[in-house]
Chains A and B, each alone.
Chain A
Amino acid sequence: MSHPSLSRRILFGLLAAPALLPGRGSAETLPEVTSIPDSLKGSGEIRVATFGGTMQEVQKRAYFEPFEKLSGIRVRDFAGSDITKIKAMVETGNVEWDLAQVSRGSVMNLQKRGDYFEKIDYDIIDAGVPAAFRFEYGLEMLVWAQVLAYRTDAFRGAVPKGWADFWDTKKFPGDRALLGAGSGNQPELEFALMAAGVPPEQVYPMDLDKAFASYTKIKRDVVKWWETGAVPVQLLTDREVVMTSVWNGRMAALQQAGVPAAVSWSQGLLKRDCWAIPKGSRNRAQAMKFIAYSTMAIPQARLSMLIPYGSVNDGANEYLSPARQEVLPSAPAIRSQLLTYNYDWWVENRDAVTARFNRWLLT
């Protein structure tokens, strides 16, 4: 079939004037896709599992509603995407989701144990999605960051930059929180290593002894090893901690609520979510069309305008105002400060790290 080298400019009308959009409150003037190629049209439905919450609301407006109108394929969305459910669905032959938002690490972990996902059909994927986001069983579609956040009223104007400052309890006194090993999370060994002076480009492959030795230095000051994104934000709001790691999208709501807190992008982790199709999905072809649609420039830009997560399509930035780009982890100025999370390393080492982390924490 034809290669997707047709320019997006030919396919999509540029009705909105996105370059002029303000960063916030821009919801009214989202850019619109006016037509899609026939290869993305169809009938029937797809059942999409997402991570729920605000994310799902935003995906509805950014992806689902326009896609339904343009393609003729109905989208039924479900909250609570979960790799363990996909495992059970595929093993019992009762596949209730045609598409799921997961991390590529999860896809690889499950794929190691058998055949749980369909291959992605790259013939219909937009050329604006770089190879770095394309994988056999999943296409990355959302870029986010795990970063240092702090109370701006805690250090009399001093600004922590990077993990050495996070570890420095003399210069920046107060309790801290970090991500733990619960709920499918991995502890932030990368941060521990950078705190110990390892340059970002030398973090992987990680030296476990060194990372845990670094963790030991801060153990007493970490009052919470969190496992849900809402917790660090709550701890910052309640002044329970002065510094914590956070998922960047959660900080926008906090700052809008007037809490004196800020993000330090420096030495954060750049992570991604991906679309994956559970093996045996009844609506595999339609799901594939949706994946292609949602990773095009305009749908990606719409999402980034509604929630501060970055896009995987190089063409999306031209629809985003400079002010908006300043808060997205995909913006070049921010992305260059972030360390790209190495899913491959983690797939190999996760179980060993989790066991060691539990032992380190509890005994």
Chain B
Amino acid sequence: MSEAIAPALLAPGRTAGMNWRRLVPLLLVAPLVLFMLALYALPVLAMLSRSLLEPAPTLAHYAELAGDEVFHRIFTNTLWTTLVVTAGTLVLGYPVAMGLARARTLLPLLLIIVLLPFWTSVLVRSYAWMVLLGRHGLVNEALLAMGMLDRPLRILNTPLAVHIAMVHILLPYMILPIANALRQIDPSLARAAAGLGAGPWAVFRQVTLPLSMPGVMAGILLVFVLSLGFYITPALVGGPRDMTLSMLIAQRVEQLDWAYAATLSAVLLATALVIIAIFQRAFGVGTAFRMSAR
């Protein structure tokens, strides 16, 4: 499928007289590109330009940001949370993706279970975690009843609660691309490896895992970028110091200091772009999406 089109897109004009063919895909995406430019890119640029143009052309906001101790703290905290959540979704999501990839009759049911959280609002899920993780919530009560604890643990209103809730909310974004990549793998490859004497672990390490990497990379990228912008969940289940960059942005928006809010947003956007660029360089994420899109 896309493999056939992709070379034409990537290496255009190699065949003389075929140029008009190149135009077809461009024409097909043109409406969407125009739509995104007019209704997304331009407003975003207008907003971001406030960081440089308000009240007059200036770099003062960026200078303020560079010396803003609170910003440094929050930025580090946001990045750390993002790393932990990405790792958490990967560790929990990969086995589920394997199950999904192998499922036959159970597939619709499993898909519904994975997708169900998608259809529930983040707000509702965050409140649900407040109820579950509280000192007298289900988790603590169960551990107490089983005699695993003497006194309830404090989980709610700590960074741990933020990590648990965010992993739960973002898991589908990790599971689906990996499951997709796993389903592409020709089962005869694993059988051939086993036939050549590889044990199950060796088959996984040397065949399945490398072939699923494009899906893994796509999942990591999605979760990483989405986590960077989290607001509601940390605000509801986090502790006193669990402030994220988007919470800081919202605070400045409310204070009507939109120039500084735009400066912070520019930094957040740049961080996301840098991460995407690194992934592109290191792992060729374009390939990841092409393969997992099948």
B-binding residues in A (CB < 8 A)? 83-84, 87, 109-110, 113, 180-184, 219, 222-225, 227-228, 230-231, 234, 238-240, 350-351, 354-355, 358-359, 361-363
1/0 contact string of B130-174 vs chain A (CB within 8 Å): 110011110000000000000000101100000000000000000
B243–A362 CB distance below 8 A: yes
- A180 cross-chain contacts in B, Cβ below 8 A: 240
B70–A84 CB distance below 8 A: no
B73–A363 CB distance below 8 A: yes
A359–B70 CB distance below 8 A: yes
Report the separation of the CA atoms of residues A330 and B264 in the bound assembly, to the nearest whole angstrom.
42
Segment among B7-15, B100-108, B245-253, B271-279 that sits at the interface with chain A: B245-253
- Residues A351 and B251 in contact in the complex (CB < 8 Å), given A240-B134, A240-B135: no
- A83 cross-chain contacts in B, Cβ below 8 A: 254, 256
A223–B250 CB distance below 8 A: no
A230 to chain B, nearest CB (A): 8
A231 to B, closest residue via Cβ = B236
- Residues A362 and B255 in contact in the complex (CB < 8 Å), given A225-B240, A231-B236: no
- A354 cross-chain contacts in B, Cβ below 8 A: 251, 255
A223 to B, closest residue via Cβ = B157
A362–B257 CB distance below 8 A: no
Contact among B154, B239, B251 with A181 in the assembled complex (CB-CB below 8 Å): B251
A355–B70 CB distance below 8 A: yes
- B3 cross-chain contacts in A, Cβ below 8 A: none
Contact among A222, A231, A239, A350 with B240 in the assembled complex (CB-CB below 8 Å): A222
- Residues A350 and B255 in contact in the complex (CB < 8 Å), given A225-B240, A358-B70, A363-B73: yes
A238–B239 CB distance below 8 A: no
B39 to chain A, nearest CB (A): 14
B42 to chain A, nearest CB (A): 13
1/0 contact string of B186-208 vs chain A (CB within 8 Å): 00000000000000000000000
Number of interface residues of B (CB under 8 A): 29
A223–B70 CB distance below 8 A: no
A239–B69 CB distance below 8 A: no
B154 to A, closest residue via Cβ = A223
A351–B136 CB distance below 8 A: no
Report the separation of the CA atoms of residues A361 and B235 in the bound assembly, to the nearest whole angstrom.
14
- B247 cross-chain contacts in A, Cβ below 8 A: 182
Report the separation of the CA atoms of residues A228 and B238 in the bound assembly, to the nearest whole angstrom.
13
Report the separation of the CA atoms of residues A223 and B152 in the bound assembly, to the nearest whole angstrom.
15
Q: Let me know if B241 is at the binding interface, CB within 8 A.
A: yes
1/0 contact string of B31-73 vs chain A (CB within 8 Å): 0000000000000000000000000000000000000011001
A234 to B, closest residue via Cβ = B130
- Residues A227 and B235 in contact in the complex (CB < 8 Å), given A358-B70, A359-B70: yes
Contact among B73, B157, B256 with A240 in the assembled complex (CB-CB below 8 Å): B157
Report the separation of the CA atoms of residues A240 and B239 in the bound assembly, to the nearest whole angstrom.
12
A359–B69 CB distance below 8 A: yes
Report the separation of the CA atoms of residues A238 and B127 in the bound assembly, to the nearest whole angstrom.
12
A47 to chain B, nearest CB (A): 23
B73–A184 CB distance below 8 A: no
- Residues A87 and B256 in contact in the complex (CB < 8 Å), given A224-B157, A238-B137, A240-B135: yes
Contact among A84, A227, A230, A239 with B136 in the assembled complex (CB-CB below 8 Å): A239
